[in-house]
A and B are shown apart, each in its own frame.
Chain A
């Protein structure tokens, strides 16, 4: 896929929850096609401690309004600067980068999309794409508490949504791997996941035990985003590969995770 470098204009910023922001960007020309699982490298200006671009997952692409949505967890200097940008700000981005989630083979497949924290971001766009292709995905979203469950209304447009929270303030109490939907019949045939590594490893372990195809999206620390610096490598069955070009999406069978 051709990659672009261009300025995008910030249309709106919405604080979804404490430290979680939804930023919508546009540009004059129509945005290029982007695939679920891909990411953009965002340049952060006016932040002396932020030298490198920030890799951010595509949360959603609204073709109708020509908007790119990015979900940001403002935990570092770079993401805090991005979350505080005034509407109308011009932000330079390199996009779309990385591979994408594998679309299901059969219409009858039962699909589970598991997201945790800001890792739910790519699950929305994946769910939207699956829905538009006639699939009925099931979403399982996990967070520490209810305030961490983001974009629930958007997820509900594309499939059935279940939640877990560690404090029980929304959905079932506990972790995503303990949710009762995992035991529902017929069994899921495919799981997609993005979130904290311990969560993805637990999901991967569940998928392997139950012989379910499973893809996870990694977020290794990255510099260039285009496969030049070799900083973001993951140790795989093929050796060290760049998460930015060979990933960020990997089938769990490609990884050397101890699951």
Chain B
């Protein structure tokens, strides 16, 4: 799968890869109303990664449903909409609208965006808040409900258990880690928002650890992401217990990376005489 916010809506990459071959395309974070996002600058390159503070720039769910969705329907069998908001009513209203789109097979509930002032991550940092928003959306959304978890918490397993209890079908983790970059010469923060979300290979060990912990704690499938750059990283997440993986920041470095990872996983399975990827999910020998 492609991680939300790193793959646009899909067509941006169709010159480079056959988008239909991907397990799913998770489109850009979508909110009830149009959002302009945060002011520039929104990005800082960091050692083995980057910070972003985009702030959920998108044209709102109605524009998505009417203008974007018709043009991407059929691009991939699994189009998943990442739904975000700043209050529970917004999440619910957005999920209801997305539920009407036949070609969208799931939503990923973003309760972990660190770049919006209200809501977003606020729901994702307490088990109570995460449960509350999951429960409300579960009532109106009958299809697959994935909840994307924030790593900026003390115990991510507790959050995962809380959303599982409220009917989430799956959890995806991790969203970005809250970070910061400073320009020493100018004595100013690099990002307009001062802090932003760290992604890329720098976060991979943290993501792996959290996927491992959550996979032990819940029965629902875990989708792993965080700094996956190649097939080997992806296999590590599967071994740690992820049923599927998302590729995010790596798309910026190599727009054809997703297909290379799919092929690489298949070659790994063949080389090690596994007949199915199922055999390596959670197969870590501790």
Pick the contact of B36 from A4, A228, A239 — CB < 8 Å? A239
Within 8 A of A (CB), among B38-53: 39-50, 52
- Per the bound structure, the CA–CA distance linking A52 and B252 in Å amounts to 7
Q: Would you give the 0/1 interface string for B13-48, flagging 1 where the beta carbon is closer than 8 Å to chain A?
A: 101100000000000100000001101111111111
B200 at the interface (CB under 8 A from A): yes
Whether B15 lies near A49 (C-beta < 8 A) is no
Contact A3 to B252, CB < 8 A, known contacts A231-B54, A232-B43:
no
Whether A43 lies near B253 (C-beta < 8 A) is yes
Whether A52 lies near B45 (C-beta < 8 A) is yes
Q: Would you give the 0/1 interface string for B239-279, flagging 1 where the beta carbon is closer than 8 Å to chain A?
A: 00000000000011111100000000000000000000000
- The interface residues of chain B lying within 8 Å CB-to-CB of A221 are 41, 43-45
Pick the contact of A228 from B13, B39, B41, B50 — CB < 8 Å? B13
- Per the bound structure, the CA–CA distance linking A223 and B50 in Å amounts to 9
Contact A226 to B36, CB < 8 A, known contacts A51-B45, A232-B43:
no
- Per the bound structure, the CA–CA distance linking A222 and B44 in Å amounts to 9
- The interface residues of chain A lying within 8 Å CB-to-CB of B7 are 228
Interface size (A, Cβ < 8 Å)? 31
B76 at the interface (CB under 8 A from A): no
A176 at the interface (CB under 8 A from B): no
Whether B40 lies near A226 (C-beta < 8 A) is no
Tell me the minimal C-beta distance from B20 to chain A in angstroms.
18
Pick the contact of B50 from A52, A94, A232 — CB < 8 Å? A52
Tell me the minimal C-beta distance from B182 to chain A in angstroms.
15
List the A residue with the shortest CB-CB distance to B54. Answer: A230
- The interface residues of chain B lying within 8 Å CB-to-CB of A231 are 42-43, 52, 54
Tell me the minimal C-beta distance from B168 to chain A in angstroms.
27
Within 8 A of B (CB), among A183-235: 220-235
List the A residue with the shortest CB-CB distance to B17. Answer: A5
B78 at the interface (CB under 8 A from A): no
Tell me the minimal C-beta distance from A44 to chain B in angstroms.
10
Among B8, B41, B201, the most chain A Cβ lie within 10 Å of the Cβ of B8
B6 at the interface (CB under 8 A from A): yes
B221 at the interface (CB under 8 A from A): no
Tell me the minimal C-beta distance from A236 to chain B in angstroms.
11
Pick the contact of B6 from A220, A229, A232, A234 — CB < 8 Å? A229
B5 at the interface (CB under 8 A from A): yes
- The interface residues of chain B lying within 8 Å CB-to-CB of A43 are 253-254
Whether A229 lies near B47 (C-beta < 8 A) is no
Pick the contact of B252 from A92, A223, A235 — CB < 8 Å? A223
Tell me the minimal C-beta distance from B41 to chain A in angstroms.
6
- The interface residues of chain B lying within 8 Å CB-to-CB of A3 are 15-16
List the A residue with the shortest CB-CB distance to B55. Answer: A230
Contact A51 to B50, CB < 8 A, known contacts A232-B43, A234-B40:
yes
- The interface residues of chain B lying within 8 Å CB-to-CB of A157 are none
B66 at the interface (CB under 8 A from A): no
B12 at the interface (CB under 8 A from A): yes
List the B residue with the shortest CB-CB distance to A52. Answer: B45
Within 8 A of A (CB), among B181-238: 200-201
- Per the bound structure, the CA–CA distance linking A234 and B57 in Å amounts to 13
Whether B251 lies near A224 (C-beta < 8 A) is yes
- Per the bound structure, the CA–CA distance linking A220 and B192 in Å amounts to 13
- The interface residues of chain A lying within 8 Å CB-to-CB of B50 are 51-52, 223
- The interface residues of chain A lying within 8 Å CB-to-CB of B42 are 230-231, 233
Whether B16 lies near A227 (C-beta < 8 A) is no
Pick the contact of B15 from A2, A225, A228, A239 — CB < 8 Å? A2
- Per the bound structure, the CA–CA distance linking A228 and B6 in Å amounts to 6
- The interface residues of chain B lying within 8 Å CB-to-CB of A225 are 252
Whether A229 lies near B253 (C-beta < 8 A) is no
Among A53, A221, A231, the most chain B Cβ lie within 10 Å of the Cβ of A231
Tell me the minimal C-beta distance from A42 to chain B in angstroms.
12
Pick the contact of B39 from A5, A49, A229, A235 — CB < 8 Å? A235
Pick the contact of A226 from B5, B12, B44 — CB < 8 Å? B12
Whether A229 lies near B5 (C-beta < 8 A) is yes
Tell me the minimal C-beta distance from B146 to chain A in angstroms.
20
- Per the bound structure, the CA–CA distance linking A153 and B46 in Å amounts to 39
- The interface residues of chain B lying within 8 Å CB-to-CB of A240 are 36-37, 40, 57
Could you pull out 7 A-B pairs where Cβ atoms are within 8 angstroms? A5-B254, A51-B200, A228-B12, A231-B42, A231-B43, A233-B40, A233-B42
Which A residues have a C-beta under 8 Å from some C-beta of B?
2-5, 43, 48-53, 92, 94, 220-235, 239-240
Beyond the given pairs A226-B255, A231-B43, 4 more chain A to chain B contacts, judged by CB atoms under 8 angstroms and listed by A's residue number, are: A53-B253, A223-B50, A223-B252, A233-B40
